[in-house]
Amino acid sequence: MNILTAEEENIWEGFPKTYQAQGPQRLWRTHSDSVHKALVARWEPVGQIETLLKTDLFDEAVGGGLLPLLASQANRVIYIDTSLEVHQMARSRFPGLHTVVADVRRLPFAQDTFHGIVSNSTLDHFQSLDDLLVSLKELFRVLRPGGQMILTLDNLSNPIILLRNRLPFRLLKRLKIVPYYVGVTLGPHQLEHLLKENGFEVLEVDAIMHCPRVLAVRVARWVENHTPPGAQRFFLRLLMAFEGLSRLPTRFLTGYFVAVKAIKC
């Protein structure tokens, strides 16, 4: 969450606790974290880097997040988020986290600070494309030349995401389709073009999270509450099997997130 306008703050106010009050969603969080860990592990730079920036803390506030993997990749990992509530929740789970209250649109770091950046579904919560563009410029500024960024956004080429983003947020929330604010986002070609226009060299573009997400979240909650551990492990394997769709030419139609690996030239 990197939202600072008054309207946006009202949208996010109290969301983390509300999310937790609805139930921990342990199974779904485990799957989501596993998919992102697999992506980062596949695209990680060769050898350990010095400094790494992660652009939000929500995953670590409500689940395991990417903490163990990122800690193994960098000597120093800095996590940012604008929500003090999220910071408090994450630090209560992981006391050793190095966190900074910051907005990705106005990063409080010097130019060329970080050797790497991981931004998983952070920049797709803004109300305007201009905010997304400003965020990319800020990430480019704080990344060192030759540094690598792994970025994921809601995939606008997925027909479900396209339809969702054309519906009013209040309707989506009332129908319990999304529990949080969804903002503007891009498809793979638009994202690649925007990154190149702003100085990045795009090395790879992919799509991840191929299971039918809305249905999977609901089923995961039922499985978590009504089945034994063995059935839950089987369910997680079933969800992960959907990631095989990333090998097909239709991957950008089925993937919930578009993923990009890019470096600063």
**CATH number of the CATH domain containing 71:** 3.40.50.150
Question: What's the domain range around 176?
Answer: 6-264
Tens of each residue's pLDDT in the chain, 265 residues: 444 444 445 455 556 666 665 555 889 999 999 999 999 999 988 778 999 999 999 999 888 899 999 999 999 999 999 988 899 999 999 998 999 999 999 999 999 999 999 999 999 999 899 999 999 999 999 999 999 999 999 999 999 999 988 888 777 777 777 767 788 999 999 999 999 999 999 999 999 999 999 899 989 999 999 999 999 999 999 999 999 999 999 999 999 999 999 999 8
pLDDT at 13: 58
The percent of the chain in helix, strand and coil, each rounded to the nearest 5, is: 50, 20, 30
Handedness of CA 107, 110, 40, 76 (dihedral sign): negative
Length of the chain: 265
Establish if 132 belongs to a structural domain: yes
Establish if 206 belongs to a structural domain: yes
Establish if 230 belongs to a structural domain: yes
Instruction: Give the integer Cα–Cα distance in Å for 184 and 57.
Output: 20
Instruction: Give the integer Cα–Cα distance in Å for 193 and 14.
Output: 36
pLDDT at 191: 97
Instruction: Give the integer Cα–Cα distance in Å for 57 and 16.
Output: 11
Please tell me the total count of domains within the chain: 1
Establish if 101 belongs to a structural domain: yes
Establish if 80 belongs to a structural domain: yes
Establish if 1 belongs to a structural domain: no
